[in-house]
Amino acid sequence: MDQWRFITAGESHGPGLVGIIEGVPSNIPITREAINDDLGRRQKGYGRGGRMAIERDQVEIWGGVRHGMTLGSPVALTVANRDFENWRESMSPDPGQPDRLVTRPRPGHADLVGGIKYQHRDLRNVLERSSARETTMRVALGAVARSFLRQLGIEVYGHVVSIGSVHANTQDWKLEEIKKAEDSPVRVVDSSQAKPMMELIDAAKEAGDTLGGTFEVVAFGLPIGLGSYVEWFRRLEAGLGQALLSIPAMKAVEVGTGFEQSEHEGSEVHDAIWWESGSGFSRRTNRAGGLEGGITTGMPLKVRVGMKPLSTLMSPLGSFDIDSKEPFLATVERSDVTAVPAAVVIGEAMVMHVLADAILQKFGGDSLGEIQGRIETWRKWAREY
């Protein structure tokens, strides 16, 4: 990300999380309520664990916004960790010794490799930052991107495609259909599969196991021309892949029909080009997922993400203590049975960050009105091409 850049800081059980976005244009409407709405969506979902019963994430705006509008300066946000009260001594930033060391790395986590990389003998120094708690701030910052994109006529929403072995019906869902997934405990559009998914989650919980799954994020209203084919790092798929795979537990990303395309002939994969007077060029199908040659086609952008089962198991796997080198069954910290419905919201946030950056790279501009004017001029030109 070159134009729209963000950074987060904070530990899972520290005082809170901090985030700063640089490159936000001026005059974008921002409210705490809108950011808290997305934070609340992240905390929902059948199969969530005990941490969600503790936290009630609420944002504070520390910079870059005045009277509900961005100023053009960096936007700074904070979200407090309520659970810090139970960890105040253990997570204190002041000089001293930890009250208890973590020397037992958990399989599937960053504990062991992080300890080796950063030369930590207390693995809490690793697990506190590598925790998915950090994604809370990504979602808060993503709500800023959502407001920006919404002012440009762009909407980004996602839904669950599968949990474990249970798959929902997939098709080119419309925006309003995807929004209705918010009413589902497992954030699925195909309501017929909600109960089977929940039953599978209950069975995994009873067995002390966890479940992964897949979800899809769709962006509606994008103009033609975001991204580029001229350099590998400017292809929009490249930015989307990096952003989505940076989310903890994500293991695969596909655009459009993705992996399925490798099993079909070209005539069954590509989208024929269509033209109409007044509306210009489009496609009747969208197997490409809204991208050709690394550039948006004007069709809905569709990306699908595969999430592995969460690493913390109530029936833990084996490991070895880094100090004594004695074998043990891995330490169990609080865990969800599945977090696929919550991951949808994090995926939305990361897609929106990438799209906000792509828009600024294409159109530039320091204020919302300036960018809106440039995009409208571009859309008109593209329709008449």
What Rg do the C-alpha atoms of the chain give, in angstroms?
A: 22
Q: What pLDDT does residue 332 have?
A: 64
What is the count of structural domains for the chain? 1
The helix, strand and coil proportions of the chain, stated in percent and rounded to the nearest 5, come to 35, 20, 40
* Paired tokens of 165: 């072995």
Q: How far is CA 87 from the centre of its chain?
A: 27
Q: Could you tell me the pTM of the whole model?
A: 0.95
Contact 340, 306 (CB under 8 A): no
Q: With a cut of 70, list the residues of the chain below it in pLDDT.
A: 49-55, 331-334
CATH of the domain at 354: 3.60.150.10
Distances (CA, A) of 352 to 82, 209, 258: 28, 32, 20
Spatial separation of the C-alpha atoms in residues 307 and 216, rounded to whole Å: 11
Coil, helix or strand for 343? Answer: helix
Q: Is 189 exposed, middle or buried (0-12, 13-18, 19+ CB in 10 A)?
A: buried
Provide the residue range defining the domain that includes 200: 5-383
Predicted confidence at residue 171, as pLDDT, reads 85
CB 355 within 8 A of CB 154: yes
Q: Which two tokens stand for residue 371?
A: 């960018």
Within a 13 Å sphere around the CA of 296, how many CA atoms are in the beta-carbon half?
26
State residue 54's pLDDT score. 63
Q: What angle do CA 360, 32, 64 make, to 5 degrees?
A: 45
pLDDT at 371: 98
Q: Are 54 and 83 in contact (CB under 8 A)?
A: yes
The structure tokens listed for 265 are 């002939």
At 197, which amino acid appears?
A: M
How far is the C-alpha of 17 from the C-alpha of 139, rounded, in Å? Answer: 12
